[in-house]
Each structure stands twice: as structure tokens, then as C-alpha cells.
Amino acid sequence: MVRRRYGLLTPTQFEVLRLRLEGLSQEEVAERLGTTRQNISIIERRAKRNLKLAEETLRAYRELVAASSVEVPPGTHLVDVPRLVIDAADEVGVKLRANFTRIYDEIRFKARSCVRGVKTIKPLRILIFKDGDIEVIPET
């Protein structure tokens, strides 16, 4: 029998999360899996911790492999950010696969907690990858 892998999640953690996402209560999951609600609570908490660690690891790796990054401080006008990104990409010889509109839109939608009106209110970072792609990362 081949055991399916779920990354950092155990098969039980995966199953508990799957059932919870289907809308079952912890009590219902416990009944279905033949355990206690307290045990399901512990399993779910550990699964969520593992997911958070996986997300942090992937974020760190993306930062590691980025060709460059742009730090955008609070108070920066959004129309100024695309030029900062384009200039940073030019400095490292990367041809961007993003135009002004995409950069602007990614900030508005992926880092909306960092923006009020047309200015940033929290710092954010934009990663530039060797393939020309970008990623907007709100600072937390």
C-alpha cells in the first residue's frame, strides 16, 4: 500500500482539516474518526501551525531566490512604485513580465492592508524574480 504524502501534515491532520473545511464541527469530526473533540482540537491546532510554518518557509525561499527586491515605505504614492520596480529590475538585468498597470493592481489587491487611498500606510516589499515575474509582499 502506497501512503499518500501531505507535506508537513500527517494524514490525520489532513483528514481533520478536510472535514472541518467541509463544515463539520470538531465534535462531528471526532465522532467520525472515533476520538474526542479535545483530540481533534489539538490535531487541528498542530495542523494549522504546520501550515503557517510551511508558508513562512516558502516566503523565505522566494525571498532567497529573488533577483532583487524593492522596499516601499509608508507614505509612498502608488504611482511612484512601478518606476521603482522597473528601475530595480533594470539594475539587475531582469526584463519584467509586468507593466505599470499590473504592478499597481497587484499592490492594490495583494497588499490592500498596506494602502489607503493612493498612498501606502504600511511598508511592503516587491520581489523581482529572474524570470521577470514579481510578487508583492505586505509587511506584517
- Same domain for 83 and 25, yes or no, is no
**Tens digit of pLDDT per residue, the chain (140 long)?**
556 888 999 999 999 999 999 999 999 999 999 999 999 999 999 999 999 999 999 999 999 999 999 999 999 999 999 999 999 999 999 999 989 999 999 998 999 999 999 999 999 999 999 999 999 999 86
- Same domain for 114 and 81, yes or no, is yes
- Same domain for 55 and 39, yes or no, is yes
- Same domain for 30 and 74, yes or no, is no
Q: Could you tell me if residue 25 is inside a domain?
A: yes
Domain tally, the chain: 2
- Same domain for 54 and 77, yes or no, is no
pLDDT of residue 4: 80
* Residue 103 CA: distances (Å) to CA of 46, 53, 72, 82, 116: 36, 28, 13, 6, 16
Containing domain of residue 51, as a range?
11-62
Location of C-alpha cell 524593492? 70
- Same domain for 78 and 91, yes or no, is yes
How many degrees, rounded to 5, is the angle at CA 44 between CA 43 and CA 49? Answer: 100
Q: Could you tell me if residue 94 is inside a domain?
A: yes
Q: Could you tell me if residue 4 is inside a domain?
A: no
Note the pTM of the prediction, 2 decimals: 0.76
pLDDT of residue 139: 81
Q: Give yes or no for a contact between 127 and 69, defined as CB atoms under 8 angstroms apart.
A: yes
* Residue 57 CA: distances (Å) to CA of 52, 61, 74, 102: 9, 6, 26, 26
Which residues have CB under 8 Å from 89's CB, separation 6+?
A: 67, 68, 95, 96, 128, 132
pLDDT of residue 140: 67
- Same domain for 56 and 82, yes or no, is no
C-alpha grid cell, residue 45: 491546532
